[in-house]
Amino acid sequence: MIVTRFAPSPTGYLHIGGGRTALFNWLFAKHHQGKFLLRIEDTDRARSTDAAVDAILEGLKWLGLEWDGEAISQFQRKDRHAEVVAEMLANGTAYRCYCTPEELDAMREAQKAAGQQPRYDGRWRDRDPSEAPAGVAPAIRLKAPREGETVVKDHVQGEVRVQNSQLDDLILLRSDGTPTYLLAVVVDDHDMDVTHVVRGDDHLTNTFRQIQIYNAMGWKTPEFAHIPLIHGPDGAKLSKRHGALGIEAYRDMGFLPETMRNYLLRLGWGHGDAEIISTEQAIEWFTLEGIGRSPSRLDFAKMENLNAHYIREAEDARLVTLTTPFIEAKIGRALTDVEKDRLRRSIPGFKPRVKTLIELADGSLYLFAARPLAMDEKAGALLTAEVRGQIGALAAKFAEAGEWTAGALEAIVRDFAEANGLKLGKVAQPLRAALTGTTVSPPIFEVAEILGREESLSRLEDVKNHG
Ligand code: GLU
């Protein structure tokens, strides 16, 4: 069975690159009816926080990337990591190194002075343990091969190799008994039966060292796929300067999770020229070979266009649920059931017009505004004393409407405009101002229908009477 994993370090939110890595692992597992596991790499106690763990779990859930089984804490597995190192000591693939930090510093300085790459010179590799200085707790190092080469056959990068003479004997267990990151990752991936490691290509150099640990334990290495990083719209490596790095920022900007899945998929993976790819389709098509080799660039306009598509496709009731919190945050109170119903009936009018849930929330605020409506500048300017009189006359006609539908109301406005020798726009635009407090909205007769008879007439009365 195919087993993948996502292994974030909980030092901050789930960033967009992490979201993409998780997505690729999830899709690959789904494509093969395998398992997608989650491991929290919380061994760096100083930088790992519970809040970051929660943010990551929440981000993954929001993206719809559910993992199989319980999330695993790497830190809690530290005894198992130490146990493996004990096995390596026993089988002769690891050794104790008694160098003090001062000694290591001196080694590094001397190498630098001689124009060499600083690296551990292996001085305790073959030394007799009886020479161990008293009172120094040893670190445990891998007895890495010195000859030959280590090769990564990567599904994205191809065959990448390094001469073993270039790699020094890495530390497996620090002198305080804590496992190093490189060791922990290998032991965990092995114990979790991970078959495919899909991660950012910033980890490629770690892979050589990890393969050496697999070999030392006689374990089968997983397959690897190292994904190129994401760059900002300007082509530079993604950084804080580009803003909006956390997945939750996209949720808060009113993007739908299916938009993000589609967008992140296309960010570094392709299938012909397909741009709009549903999650079902993605599961069917996903292969590691479809991952591109060059870094991809964020393109916010493209993300918005995709979001507009998925908003059009979404069910009205779901959009109401998703938009309600945005509206409630803006108006500072909960929506009533009547208002939610108004919102639901207004959704079809918004679907062709909005790119984000925020635009939908903003556009719908007139539905929930307290009377008398606050007029924006343009709307206020339109409603002169004369125009307010005209609104009053129109309101009287509306009050007689047999049925309160967009069609019936439009007919009344047309008759009214004709009877008064006015162009339709000269009546419709002030009507829009009176009903919404703005000069832009979905089609105004639909707006009136959605507001309903009572609310519409009251708003028109307000305009007639106030000024
Ligand atoms: N914890 C690492 C990170 O967040 C990932 C390690 C891995 O995937 O092997 O970058």
Q: Are 95 and 89 in contact (CB under 8 A)?
A: yes
pLDDT of residue 304: 97
Q: Is the CB of 173 under 6 A from ligand 1?
A: no
pTM beyond 0.85: yes
Ligand 1 center to residue 43 CA distance, Å? Answer: 12
Domain 1-73+228-313, what fold? Rossmann fold (3.40.50)
Q: Tell me: is residue 240 an annotated ligand-binding position.
A: yes
Sheet holding 94-97, edge to edge: 94-97, 139-142, 171-173
Nearest one of 309, 349, 312, 346 to 327, comparing CA atoms: 346
At the fourth CATH level, the homologous superfamily of domain 77-227 is: HUPs (3.40.50.620)
Q: Domain 377-465 carries which CATH code?
A: 1.10.10.350
Indicate which residue of 78, 220, 240, 423 is catalytic. 240
Sequence spans of domains, the chain? 1-73+228-313, 77-227, 315-366, 377-465
Which residues, 6+ apart, have CB-to-CB distance to 158 below 8 Å?
none
The pair of structure tokens assigned to 159 is 């065959």
Task: Return the best residue to mutate from 9, 44, 48, 224 for the ligand 1 pocket (most ligand atoms within 8 A of CB).
Answer: 9
240 a catalytic residue: yes
Return the bridge partners of 200, or none: 227
**Low-confidence residues of the chain, pLDDT below 70?**
467
Tokens of 281: 């389709």
CA angle 123/129/133 to nearest 5° reads 80
321 Cβ contact list (under 8 Å, min separation 6):
none
For residue 7, report the distance from its CA to the centre of ligand 1, in Å. Answer: 5
The CATH number, out of the four listed (1.10.8, 2.60.40, 3.90.320, 1.20.1260), of the domain defined by the range 315-366? 1.10.8
pLDDT of residue 244: 72
pLDDT of residue 238: 83
Q: Which of 221, 280, 189 is nearest to 3 (CA)?
A: 189
DSSP for 118-131, written as a single string: -----TTSSS-GGG
Evaluate: CB of 22 within 6 angstroms of ligand 1.
no
Residue type at position 389? G
pLDDT at position 261 is 98
C-alpha dist (Å) from residue 452 to 346, 368, 441: 12, 12, 16
Do the domains at 1-73+228-313 and 77-227 have one common CATH topology? Answer: yes
Give residue-wise pLDDT tens across range 65-109.
999 999 999 999 999 999 999 999 999 999 999 999 899 999 999
Q: Give the pLDDT of residue 135.
A: 87
How does pLDDT run across 187-210, given as a tens digit for each residue? Answer: 999 999 999 999 999 999 999 999
Q: How far is the CA of 21 from the centre of ligand 1 (A)?
A: 10
Instruction: For CA atoms 194, 197, 199, 203, give the dihedral sign.
Output: positive
